Copies of this chain bind each other. A is one copy, B any other.
Amino acid sequence: MPVLSRQRLTASIKKLAVACGASGDEAQIFADCHVHADLRGHQTQGLQIVNIVYEFLVNGTERFGVDTPVIIDKPGFAVIDGNYGVGCIVATRAMDHAIRKAGDSGIACVWVRRGGVFSMASNYTLRALEHDMVGIATENGIPFVAPWGGRDPLFSTNPFSFAVPSGEEIPIVIDMSAGSFSAGKVMAAKSAGEKMPSSHLVDGYGNYTDDPSLIEMQFDHQLNLGALVAHGTRGFGWNIFVEILAGLLSGMEASCNSIVEAEEGNITINHGQFFMAINIEQLMPVDVFKQKVDEFIRSVKANPPAKGFDTVRLPGENAAKTEQRYLKDGIPVLDKDWEDFLSICSTHGLTI
C-alpha cells in the first residue's frame, strides 16, 4: 500500500485537476477536499473519488470552470446554481456563502441546485468551525438505498455532516451516511470478498443479506439488482429527511428521479445539497458554548462501556486522531486507487 505525504498527494491531484481544466484556485480546493478525506480516514471519499470524478469530467457530468451564480439571495438563505460544476468546488462556495451570511444574520441556509458529488461531507462543516459556527451539510444523489420494507434502490446514501466547535476537546464532527453503510464501504467489501457487519443489504429478490456480492451498485436504479437498506424505521426517516431537505427543497429531484441519461449515453445527476451555518455568538458567548460542549464530550466519554466495548467514542474523534497520525507518518492509499490514478495521469502525460 503506497504511503504518501500530504504535500505529495495534494500536488499530484492538483496537477491532474489543472490538466482537466481547473483554475489554480479550483485545483487547490479539489485537491484539499479529497486529501482531507484521506487524511481523516474516509478512504472511500478521497483519492478513490478523484478517480470517479475524473470519469465524470471526461463524460461531462461535472465540469471545472463554470459559473455558479447565486440565484436567490436573502439575508437568511440562498440558492446557488452549481451549473453541473465539480461537486466539492460548488459545495465549498455554498458553505462559505452560508458562513458569510450567518456572520450577519446569525443563521443561514444555502441550497445548491445542479451541484456535483461533494465527496466527504465534513469538508464543508469543518469550515464552519473556523468561524466558531456550527455547520450542517448534506446531499442526495445516486440511488443505492432501499426504503425500510422495500427492495429496490430509491435513496442515495444521503451523507450528513454536523460539526460543533469545542474548547479543549476534539470537536464533534458527525460525518455519516443516513443509509446503514456508505456506498464506498459496500463496494470495498465486495471487492475484498468480505461480508458486511449486518444484514442491511437486500438482494434483487427482496431477501436481506450481509453479502455485498449479491448487490450490483449501478447508477440505474430501475434495475432489479439489490440495494443497501435503510437502517430500520429510524434510518428510513433520516433518508427521507435528507431527500426532502437537500433534494426537493433545493428545487431538484429525489434521488430516484435524479439520474437522467444525457447525450451520448452519459448521465446527469439532478440532485440537491443543503448547507447551514449557525453563528454561535448571536446566541450566547462563544466561550460559554465551547465550555458546555467540552463538558458534554467529557460526560459522553466518561460513560462506562457496555459489554464488548472498551470506551465510548465521539463522532470525529477517530478522524481527528487519524489526521494527526497521517500528517506525521503519511497517508496510506489503496494500491488499486493509486494505480488507477497514475494511469489517469499518464493519459494526460503527467509525471507524478
**Chain A: residues with CB nearer than 8 A to chain B?**
72, 74-77, 79, 105-109, 111, 134, 146-152, 154, 160, 162, 164, 172, 174, 176, 178, 180, 202, 205-208, 229, 231-238, 240-241, 243-245, 248-251, 253-254, 256-257, 278, 280, 282-284, 289, 292-293, 295-296, 299-300, 303-307, 309, 311-315
Report the minimum CB–CB distance from A314 to chain B (whole Å): 8
Question: From A313, which residue of chain B is reached at the shortest CB distance?
Answer: B149
CB-CB under 8 A for A289 and B151, given A79-B283, A256-B299, A306-B229: no
Alpha-carbon distance A160/B74, docked complex (angstroms): 27
Q: Which residue from B76, B240, B253, B282 sits with its C-beta under 8 Å from A107?
A: B76
Q: Contacts A206-B307, A207-B307, A248-B292 known; list 17 others, CB within 8 Å.
A: A74-B282, A75-B105, A76-B106, A134-B244, A146-B303, A147-B312, A149-B306, A149-B309, A150-B304, A154-B303, A180-B234, A231-B234, A234-B235, A248-B293, A249-B289, A254-B292, A257-B296
Report the minimum CB–CB distance from A8 to chain B (whole Å): 32
- Enumerate the 6 nearest inter-chain pairs by beta-carbon distance, A residue then B residue, closest first: A76-B76, A150-B303, A149-B309, A150-B312, A206-B306, A254-B296
Main secondary structure of the interface of A (DSSP, over half): mixed
Most B C-beta atoms less than 10 A away, residue of A235, A243, A244: A244
Q: Which residue from B75, B238, B295 sits with its C-beta under 8 Å from A75?
A: B75
Residues of B within 8 A of A243 (CB): 296
CB-CB under 8 A for A150 and B300, given A178-B234, A293-B248: yes
Alpha-carbon distance A284/B71, docked complex (angstroms): 12
Residues of B within 8 A of A306 (CB): 146, 149-151, 202, 206-208, 229
Report the minimum CB–CB distance from A226 to chain B (whole Å): 11
Q: Which residue from B109, B162, B235, B244 sits with its C-beta under 8 Å from A244?
A: B162
Verify A147–B303 contact, CB threshold 8 A: yes
Residues of B within 8 A of A237 (CB): 160, 162, 174, 176, 315
Verify B134–A105 contact, CB threshold 8 A: no
Verify A154–B299 contact, CB threshold 8 A: yes
Verify B282–A234 contact, CB threshold 8 A: no
